[in-house]
Structure 1
Amino acid sequence: MNQHRMTPLTESGLLTALSVVLALMAVYLPFIGFLLVLFWPLPLIVLVVRHGLRWGLMAAAAAGVLMGLLLEPLLSLRLVIAYAPAGLLLGWAFAKGLSGVKAFLLTIAAAIAGQAASVGLLLLVTDVNPLTMQVELLQSSFDTSLQLYEGMGMSEDTLAKTRAEIEQGLQMLTYLFPLVFIIIGLLYGGVAYVTGGKILKRLGHNVPQFPPVHEWRLPQAFLYLFGFALVGLYWGGTRQIMWLYQISLNANALAIMAGLLQGLVLMHCLFRHFRVSLFLRIVFYVFIVMNPFLAQVVAMTGLIDMIFDYRQRFSARNQK
């Protein structure tokens, strides 16, 4: 039986068309557009793995040109800059046989850089910061809600206190803009890695496996980052050094997130050891994440675990 294999040019054309269709759906379908844009790098991942980085670069450029003709040139350029690097580098990492951790970290770095470059391009061309616009929309929405409560008879003292808390929260959000890029990069990188890996497996390609959850260990640098962030918050807050305060605030939040992840992994190991059912595990995880105090306790435990490695101590004790 004759085996018919598509040429790189044919497959590149099909995957480029798929990228354009995904972009059009992401723009014109408001409710699911945010989800669809997460899958935009997938055709590039497949193309790079099957035919090389050169074909992926050409497909990304061709998709950008077609989207520029069908949509808006600036929008298409921002879309390519924001999402193409993650797809191209993840496909390259899979093709080179890098480990799952290295491929994932490379994808996250590319996703963060792409999102930052996309926002920077919009700011350079239009002098409009989309993150600031979102904060202004939130402020307008809260103002409308407060006016509604005022019409319902809420006291002036309560309204003033609520308004002050909202303004403080929004101001804190503007300080955390750098962390927003990291969170977006983690989201996009994670979706690209998981979905891209599953598609490539279905196509018969070998994909490096990510370590199981009970083997996850974050570096001790996050604990030191947390300590330096506390010092920076104190110095920046007491001496009105705003740039130091903002950097330290983002570093503190990043370290807390890392500690929370490490703490949840530690809990997962304990639940796994005592054979707790999956349903109860999920209930515990959700309850911890939704409770600020418990989340803080788990995060601190996770940060300490980065140095003391409780899992190794538990396993050594059980072997005695």
Structure 2
Amino acid sequence: MISEYMEHRVNSLTESGILSAVTVLMALIGVYVPFLGLVAILLWPLPITVLVVRHGFRWGVMAAVVASVLIAVIIEPTVAVRLALAFAPVGLALGYGYRLGWSGIRLVTAAIVVSVLAKGIALMMVFFLTGIHPFSGQLEMLRESYTQAAEMYKGMGMNEVQIEMAKQSFEHNLGVIEILLPLVVVTMGLLDTMVNFIVAGKVFKRLGMEVPVLPPFREWRLPQAFAWLFGASLVAAYIGHANEIPILFQAGMNGYMAATLAGLVEGVVVFEYAMAHYNWSRWASTIFLIMIFMNGLLFQILAIAGILDTVFDYRKKFFGAER
């Protein structure tokens, strides 16, 4: 009995050390290797998820702490803080849900909530420690890139009036990006959760484990709350703009865009369901979707149709789908 316990402890320590080293290596790739670094950062929580599932929540926390300390020493303390606060909770949440056998929907929903909260806390912590806006570097990089491009076009003889108009358009778009930064944080939380959920599922399947899965894409149906969010956000954005209340306008714009993106997903789901119902080929439906995404008006129609589907359920009304 004692020997089995000691063997388990040794295995846990060994695997924890190996996976901690993997997280440090992924952080190094994320900081110093272009393009591949983005993938490494997105998958940074994965070793923690594996460790929690195989050995328990405590081992996952210990590995995250050890990896963060090593990253602080090897790279930079602020990088360690950002990774530990923004990404480690995602790995812990996914591992915890996998270990308890949660359904795919419950697991993904909980992990997304944890991820978004973690990234919000990480950004506030970075601002508190450095006094620098978390996205200031990226926004400044965009401005510098545009300035260089404008100089290049000017050297090629481009009309200065056109360059000035392009500059005004660019500054407007950059202002929109700044307004939508909260939505960027939510999107980041959604993206890294889904990537790690999918990859972790493949890893655990290779290890012979049963893993929770999400319903088929054509059966997805988002809650009616997105329709209410869409309407309330339009009202909030209008009142905020008309009465010069920046925070209300920003909240309204972020809610509007979030609801629109959700409606777009729902619209694609309904479109795919209709194509399958009428036995259209995959190639035909893909071509039609590409055409829709390339046309601004059709793009908006698809998003609004998706938002309305959360209320009216077209698949049940028109195709007899059972709920």
Q: Is 1:196 the counterpart of 2:200 in the alignment?
A: yes
Q: Is 1:106 the counterpart of 2:110 in the alignment?
A: yes
| Deviation of 1:217 (Å) | 0.4
Equivalent in the alignment of 1:95: 99
Q: Is 1:30 the counterpart of 2:73 in the alignment?
A: no
1:1-320 pair list within 5 angstroms:
7-316=11-320
Whole-Å Cα distance in 1 between the matches of residues 78 and 320 of structure 2?
Answer: 58
| Deviation of 1:317 (Å) | 9.0
Whole-Å Cα distance in 2 between the matches of residues 31 and 172 of structure 1?
Answer: 25
CA contact (8 A) 1:271 1:281 kept: yes
Q: Which runs of 5+ in 2 are unaligned?
A: none
CA contact (8 A) 2:315 2:321 kept: no
SS at match of 2:320: helix
CA contact (8 A) 1:132 1:174 kept: no
Normalising to structure 2: TM-score of the pair?
0.92
Whole-Å Cα distance in 2 between the matches of residues 231 and 98 of structure 1?
Answer: 38
CA contact (8 A) 2:20 2:64 kept: yes
CA contact (8 A) 1:26 1:37 kept: yes
| Deviation of 1:143 (Å) | 2.1
Task: Give CA-to-partner distance per residue, 1:93-117, whole Å, 9 cap, x none.
Answer: 1111111011111111222222222
CA contact (8 A) 2:87 2:118 kept: yes
Whole-Å Cα distance in 1 between the matches of residues 193 and 23 of structure 2?
Answer: 17
SS at match of 1:161: helix
Whole-Å Cα distance in 2 between the matches of residues 90 and 23 of structure 1?
Answer: 20
**Aligned AA for 1:105?**
T
Whole-Å Cα distance in 1 between the matches of residues 16 and 163 of structure 2?
Answer: 58
**Aligned AA for 2:74?**
L
| Deviation of 1:162 (Å) | 1.6
Moved segments of 4+, more than 4 Å: 3-6
Task: Give CA-to-partner distance per residue, 1:123-144, whole Å, 9 cap, x none.
Answer: 1111112312212221222122
Task: Give CA-to-partner distance per residue, 1:198-225, whole Å, 9 cap, x none.
Answer: 1111112221121111210001111111
**Aligned AA for 1:161?**
M
Whole-Å Cα distance in 2 between the matches of residues 291 and 90 of structure 1?
Answer: 38
Greater shift in the superposed pair: 117-126 or 94-103: 117-126
Whole-Å Cα distance in 1 between the matches of residues 318 and 218 of structure 2?
Answer: 13
Identity %: 39
SS at match of 2:106: helix
**Aligned AA for 1:256?**
T
Whole-Å Cα distance in 1 between the matches of residues 40 and 290 of structure 2?
Answer: 26
Q: 1:290 to 1:109 in 2, by over 3 A?
A: farther
| Deviation of 1:283 (Å) | 2.4
Greater shift in the superposed pair: 72-81 or 147-156: 147-156
Whole-Å Cα distance in 1 between the matches of residues 246 and 93 of structure 2?
Answer: 36
Greater shift in the superposed pair: 122-131 or 282-291: 282-291
Greater shift in the superposed pair: 177-186 or 104-113: 104-113
Q: 1:119 to 1:51 in 2, by over 3 A?
A: same
CA contact (8 A) 2:68 2:80 kept: yes
Q: Which runs of 5+ in 1 are unaligned?
A: none
| Deviation of 1:289 (Å) | 2.6
Greater shift in the superposed pair: 278-287 or 179-188: 278-287
Normalising to structure 1: TM-score of the pair?
0.93
Task: Give CA-to-partner distance per residue, 1:29-58, whole Å, 9 cap, x none.
Answer: 123111111111111111111111111111
| Deviation of 1:286 (Å) | 2.8
